């Protein structure tokens, strides 16, 4: 059954389209100007909409920023959940498919990475940002840990903890994302993806032969 919010969006496709316009304009503004210089006026102008339209959708700048972070978080979650749902085969096949998502063009786009890290930089003093990112990360961590546990059990790997392995994979991914953002001349998506595959081969050599 559709929620009240979903029904509202179904009845107001134009309203939802404008809302997404504003969120995309916010992403562009943060990527180009940073948090401090991202204003409702700048966002509305970039979206080609009036200031009144912005206020109709978002009561203030902070509400707009929160909804933008939710949009990015939901978009990423939908990307990996969709991939997992479509992947058939072993746990190793699923893990390989999941880590590949992180280096798709739509996910590791430098503009989106810049905005994501900008939000994380603000998370220390803005608990709402931290809660949104941690909620998504916790779900991903739980999912990937479960898959890794299947691999550990199947391969009889000794001395490995599924949650620790998930931490390593996610930490390496974060580092590679940062490298893609800050040093694109030294790091590309293919090499970053291969770095994750090398880690999997080190952890689970029976399932990810070099």
pLDDT tens sequence across 131-181: 999 999 999 999 999 999 999 999 999 999 999 999 999 999 999 999 999
Predicted TM-score of the model (pTM): 0.87
Distance CA 132, CA 119 (A): 10
> Please, what are the domains in the chain?
1-59 (1.10.10.60), 65-210 (1.10.357.10)
pLDDT at position 16, please? 84
Distance CA 97, CA 89 (A): 11
Distance CA 92, CA 63 (A): 40
What percentage of the chain reaches a pLDDT higher than 90? 72
pLDDT at position 3, please? 46
Distance CA 59, CA 161 (A): 46
Q: How do residues 85-121 score in pLDDT, each as one tens digit? A: 999 999 999 999 999 999 999 999 999 999 999 999 9
Q: pLDDT category, 15, cuts 50, 70, 90?
A: confident
Q: How many CA atoms lie within 13 A of 61 on its CB side?
A: 11
pLDDT at position 141, please? 97
Distance CA 102, CA 97 (A): 9
Q: Could you tell me the two tokens for 74?
A: 């939901």
């Amino acid at each position: 059954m559709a929620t009240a919010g979903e029904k509202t969006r179904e009845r107001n496709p134009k309203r939802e389209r404008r809302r997404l316009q504003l969120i995309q304009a916010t992403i562009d503004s943060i990527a180009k100007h940073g948090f401090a210089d991202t204003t409702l006026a700048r966002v509305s102008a970039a979206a080609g909409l009036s200031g009144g339209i912005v206020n109709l959708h978002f009561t203030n700048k902070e509400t707009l920023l929160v909804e933008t972070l939710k949009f990015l978080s939901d978009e990423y979650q939908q990307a990996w959940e969709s991939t997992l749902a479509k992947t058939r085969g072993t746990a190793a096949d699923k893990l390989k498919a999941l880590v590949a998502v992180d280096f798709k063009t739509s996910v590791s786009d430098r503009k989106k990475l810049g905005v994501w890290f900008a939000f994380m930089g603000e998370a220390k003093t803005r608990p709402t940002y931290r809660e949104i990112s941690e909620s998504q990360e916790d779900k991903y961590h739980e999912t990937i840990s479960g898959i890794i546990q299947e691999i550990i059990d199947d391969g009889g790997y000794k001395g490995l903890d599924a949650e620790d392995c998930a931490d390593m994979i996610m930490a390496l991914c974060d580092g590679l994302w940062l490298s893609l953002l800050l040093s694109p001349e030294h790091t590309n998506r293919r090499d970053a993806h291969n770095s994750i595959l090398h880690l999997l081969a080190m952890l689970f050599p029976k399932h990810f032969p070099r």
